[in-house]
Amino acid sequence: LKYEGKAMNHCVASYANSCSNGTYAIYSVSQIEGNDLGKKATVSLRLSGEKTLQEARGKYNATLSVPVARIIKGWANARGIAVSSWSRI
């Protein structure tokens, strides 16, 4: 989480305790562009209660591009994961 936060310039490391106790899971979304691995998003998934995609942010907490948001939302919907309006996707 520390390295993801540093690479994306946001505070995902603040989820460390929530991940350790099983309340949240964090996913890093990347895209291979030629020989480079371009980071596109960090996604937080709340595991307690109803599984919910809580946040999806780009670098510097930016809103995701439409294609990346569509892929992440499709992934969540295919797995029956609710999508929070806070996620901005």
Give every residue of the chain whose pLDDT is below 50, as ranges. none
pLDDT of 86 reads 87
Q: What is the pTM of this model?
A: 0.86
The pLDDT score that the predictor gives to residue 30 is: 86
How many other CB atoms sit within 10 Å of the CB of residue 52? 19
Average pLDDT, the chain: 91
d(CA 40, CA 29): 6
Q: How high is the pLDDT of residue 56?
A: 95
pLDDT (0 to 100) of residue 36: 57
